[in-house]
Amino acid sequence: MDATGLKRLFWISGAVLFAVGLVGWYDRLAYGHLNANYGSVVTWGLWVAAYIYFIGLSAGSFLISSLVYVFNAKRFERIGRLAVFTAVVTLFLALLAIWADIGHMWRVWHVLVYANFKSPMAWMIWLYSLYFVLLVAELWFLLRRDLVAGSGLPGPKGAIYRFLSLGSRDESEASAARDRRVVRVLATIGVPVAIMFHGGVGALFGVVAARPHWHSGMFPIIFLLSALVSGGALLTVIAAIFQDGWRANRDTVLALGQMVLGLLLLDVLFQISELLVAFYGGIPGHLQGFRLAIGGPFWWVFWWWQLVLGTLIPLLLLILPTRKDPRWVSLAGLLIAAGFLGVRLNIVIPGLAAEEIRGISQAIASARMTTYYVPSATEWLVTLGVVGLGLLLFGFGELLLPKEHEEAGHVRA
Amino acid sequence: MDTDTKVAPAEPLSRRQLVERLFGMGASALAVALSAGGTLSNLAAPEPARAATPAAGIATKRRFRYGMVIDTRRCVGCRACVVACKAENKTPPGVSYTVVVEQALGNRTDDKPLFMTKPCFHCERPPCVDVCPVSATFKRERDGIVVIDYDRCIGCRYCITACPYGARFFDFGENYPTVEGGTAYAGVPSPEYGQFRQRAKGASPVGNVRKCTFCVHLQDAEGRYDKVAGRWPACAKTCTGHAIFFGDFNDPDSEVSRLIRERQTVRLKEELGTEPNVHYLL
């Protein structure tokens, strides 16, 4: 399929998913959590999995953008702004998913005002709030000069550029140099913040001693690593579709593919280490989560979704000669990025789907007290809607964002 | 130094107090103390000698340390406690502050299963409290009861994941048919926390995490319960087999203090260091 076809597919699926999502949001807003399938045993479900999925994509894309803006990696320069844009969009999607999940949506401000700094969740929230501000500021400084240049365009595009430029008029070389310095500072601050907040997402699970499946010092590290893998994988897809697509971004996509390959292998190594240590130790409580993931009712999520589609096929695509074709590389990226939703589900659900007190799921007659969980229609619809919104936002970004140019300083708006 | 030596014999000391006082007394007094029965290895022991004086050993700085001793041999599995709790707290379906779990025991000659009623354990080190992002759940200063501020709780359910004992429940807003049907019962508010909330769609406690409070609304202004007057946790008050003993572990003369002093009790998942305030007799 050529780039135009991909773009059309992109827009149509975005619009359809977004529309479908509105049904889910209506149900969520009108009936609260009544039509969600999580309960008091498996108390986190698809929405939490979607949240850690998107927030991982965000942290990963941002850290890859920092290779350009902090570490001056020239080979990724073409996708630097795209990576920051991806980080903003996926962070927004993550926050939407978790917003649907909380019991009192209109009390979100409590998390900033009443923060309990003994809670990893409070740390995570403060850090990603800071991260969000940094990201938006960085993106603005990255785009400012092009926005100013585009302000003169006729029609709505020019108006949008004028609005987004926030009154800035300066197109001089000096102002561009200043922008680069500001970006460098923001990106440099952003690196430790992103590491802390995404490590914090891992720690949020890792500190829970009551859930042996999560309670591991590896968790924050694995979260960071998997963020880089999934974020990098997503960027190979976006770079192949966005604006000039795989023809223009060929070398960048190939380079990203090789980086993702290395990170994915490292991630596999970490996962194997977790499994081997758990199974050798053989402590039933510790094993329960792994046993559920690989042999429970949703064994296929692990074997087919996560392992075959999300790991083995992409590994082959990135190792075999297909690694030299940006289309195959971005297909591998797509598979990895999709596979990671399986990874996220297999972190959240098997960790919870075990009785903490034997017999408790039979003790009271309630569907909320079962260890069996499959997301409800509402949960799927909201999640698909979030994905659809993401596609639309990328679509608008593709239309509106100033294009990347071959030579720095050359404006082509 | 004089006051120290006067106080010392009057009541059993914890190891920490003993060490502090020994330092206070100085070297000569230390020699006296050692010759009087203490040894250096005793001082270095990792745990105070708790078995001898359990009530004193677990006494807290708080005014009360409420807890339970539950005798599983007296429990017949009638679930009257579950119903009494429901009647008292008006909990909706899927929210049950106490549950009775039933387990077949393999290593017994009879076929009697183990019945175990399980309220919240109101741990000394409650992991649910630490993880709350907004400090909506906390352990009360006065009596150690772990409670939830329904107006602050955002319903993130992190505490449910952190509780090792399955003692927390999310209120999804479901109702029993009698409440849904708008009968007179539907108009009865829950006395929980003395707040008398009327159940309404989307309003707290719907969308909140809920848990056992040891029926804290039955305390008097001083924080005392009264068994004779009926101001006693509903489950303990109603238990047909007298299996649920409730009381103050800070009071060495309370029934629960006597039970853990005289009998061999166990607590669940001690290895997690949560220090539950509910003990079981097997």
Which string of DSSP letters, residue by residue, matches A51-63? HHHHHHHHHHHHH
Which H or E element spans position A7?
A: helix A3-31
Mean pLDDT, residues A190-203: 94
Which residues lie below 8 Å from residue B146, measured CB to CB, with a gap of 6+? Answer: B120, B122, B123, B126, B128, B129, B137, B138, B139, B140, B211
Chain B partners within 8 Å of A112 (Cβ): none
Q: Is omega for the bond preceding B205 within 30 degrees of 0, making it cis? A: yes
State the pLDDT at residue B4: 41
Residues of chain A with Cβ-Cβ distance to B152 below 8 Å are 107, 110, 114
Q: What whole-number distance in Å separates Cα of residue B244 and Cα of residue A391?
A: 57
pLDDT at B38 over 50: no
The answer to whether residue B49 scores a pLDDT higher than 60 is no
CA distances for B63 relative to A192, B13, B66, B80, angstroms = 45, 18, 10, 31
Q: What is the mean pLDDT of chain A?
A: 91
| Choice between B206 and A404, residue whose per-residue pLDDT is larger | B206
Residues of chain A contacting residue B130, judged by C-beta atoms under 8 Å apart: 116, 118-119
Question: B118, B98 in Cβ contact below 8 A?
Answer: yes
Parallel, antiparallel, or unpaired for β B66-71 and B278-281?
Answer: parallel
Confidence of residue A151 (pLDDT cuts 50, 70, 90): confident
Handedness of CA B23, B24, B27, B29 (dihedral sign): negative
Instruction: Please tell me the pTM assigned to this model.
Output: 0.88
Q: Which residues of chain A lie closer than 8 angstroms to B204, CB-CB?
A: 104
- Identify the band that residue A405 occupies on the pLDDT scale cut at 50, 70 and 90: low
For residue A53, pLDDT over 90 is answered with: yes
- What is the pLDDT averaged over residues B209-237? 96
Cβ under 8 Å to A: B residues 199-238 = 201-202, 204, 206-209
- Which residue has better confidence, B31 or B229? B229
- First-to-last C-alpha distance (Å) of chain B: 46
Give the model's pLDDT for residue A190.
Answer: 95
**What pLDDT is attached to residue A367?**
92
Map out the domains of chain A with their CATH numbers. 37-375 (1.20.1630.10)
d(CA A32, CA A104): 9
Of the candidates A97, A126, A128, which has an alpha carbon nearest to the alpha carbon of residue A341?
Answer: A97
Query: Closest by alpha carbon to B157, among A109, A103, A63?
Result: A103
Contact B152 A363 (CB under 8 A): no
Q: Do B99 and A208 touch (CB under 8 A)?
A: no
DSSP E strands in B129-205: the ranges are 137-139, 146-148, 168-170
pLDDT the model gives residue B12: 52
Tokens in use for A403?
Answer: 């294009």
Confidence of residue B8 (pLDDT cuts 50, 70, 90): very low
> Which residues have C-beta within 8 Å of that of residue B132, sequence separation ≥ 6?
A116, A119, B138, B153, B158, B159
CB atoms closer than 10 angstroms to residue A308: 15
A169-186 burial, b if ≥16 CB within 10 A, otherwise e?
A: eeeeeeebeebeebbbeb
Please tell me the distance in Å from B80's CA to the nearest CA on chain A: 13
CA A122 to chain centre: 20
Give the 3-state secondary structure of residue A168.
Answer: coil
Contact B197, B189 (CB under 8 A): yes
The CA angle A79-A84-A89, to the nearest 5 degrees, is 120
Q: What is the pLDDT of residue A2?
A: 61
At which residue do the structure tokens 């019945």 appear? B115
Contact B96, B102 (CB under 8 A): no
Q: What is the mean pLDDT of residues A296-308?
A: 94
Residues of chain B within CATH 3.30.70.20 domain(s) are 66-281
What residue of B is the nearest CA neighbor of A370? B94
| Amino acid letter, A413 | A
Q: What is the pLDDT of residues A219-259, one digit of tens each?
A: 999 999 999 999 999 999 988 887 677 888 889 999 999 99
Prediction ipTM score: 0.92
Q: Which residues 78-107 on chain B approach chain A with CB closer than 8 angstroms?
A: 82, 93-96, 99-103
Q: Averaged over B103-113, what is the pLDDT?
A: 80
What average pLDDT score do residues B278-282 get? 95
Give every CB contact of residue B62 below 8 A, 6+ residues apart in sequence: B141, B142, B143, B144, B250
Q: How many residues does chain A have?
A: 413
Residue A89: CB partners within 8 Å, gap ≥ 6? A390, A393, A394, A397
Is it the case that residue B151 has pLDDT exceeding 80?
Answer: yes
* Token code pair at residue A293: 């993931």
The mean per-residue pLDDT over the stretch A15-26 comes to 97
Question: Of the candidates A31, A41, A114, which has its C-beta nearest B152's C-beta?
Answer: A114
Report the distance separating Cα B191 and Cα A258, nearest Å.
Answer: 63
| Rama region for A104: left / alpha / beta (φ>0; ψ in -120 to 50; rest) | beta
Model pLDDT, residue A218: 92
Per cent of chain A over pLDDT 70 is: 96
> Chain B partners of A284 at a C-beta cutoff of 8 Å?
none
CB contact under 8 A, A44 and B164: no
Q: Residue B23 pLDDT > 60, yes or no?
A: no
Q: Compute the average pLDDT of residues A190-197.
A: 94
Q: What is the pLDDT of residue B16?
A: 56
Which residue in B has a C-alpha nearest to residue A104's C-alpha?
A: B154
Residues B76, B239: Cα–Cα separation, whole Å: 10
Is the pLDDT score of B28 beyond 60?
no
Residue B17 has pLDDT above 70, yes or no: no
Name the range with the highest mean pLDDT among A387-401, B2-16, B165-179: B165-179
| Mean pLDDT computed over every residue of chain B | 84
- Identify the pLDDT of residue B30: 42
Predicted pLDDT at B32: 43
Exposed e or buried b for every residue in B37-50, given b needs 16+ CB within 10 A? eeeeeeeeeeebee
Residue A60, pLDDT score: 96
Would the pLDDT of B47 be above 50? no
H or E stretch including A221? helix A218-241
Nearest residue, CB atoms, B202 vs list A32, A36, A125:
A32
From the CB of residue A321, how many other CB atoms can be counted at a distance below 10 Å? 8
Q: What's the average model confidence in pLDDT over A81-108?
A: 96
Q: Which residue of B has its CA nearest to A98?
A: B156
pLDDT at residue B205, as a whole number: 95
Q: How far apart are the first and last CA of chain A?
A: 27
Asked if the model's pLDDT at residue B31 lies above 70, the reply is no
Q: How far apart are CA A120 and CA A112, in angstroms?
A: 13
- Kindly tell me if the per-residue pLDDT of A1 is higher than 50: yes
| Residue A105: closest C-alpha in chain B | B154
Flag whether residue B166 sits within 8 Å of chain A, measured between CB atoms: yes
Instruction: Identify whether the C-beta of residue B118 lies closer than 8 Å to the C-beta of residue B138.
Output: no
Mean pLDDT to the nearest integer, A348-369:
92
What single-letter amino acid sits at B253?
Answer: D
- Confidence tier at A3 by pLDDT (50, 70, 90): low
Instruction: Confirm or reject CATH 3.90.15.10 for domain B66-281, answering yes or no.
Output: no
Contact A208 B127 (CB under 8 A): yes
If you ran DSSP here, which 8-state letter would residue B188 be given?
P
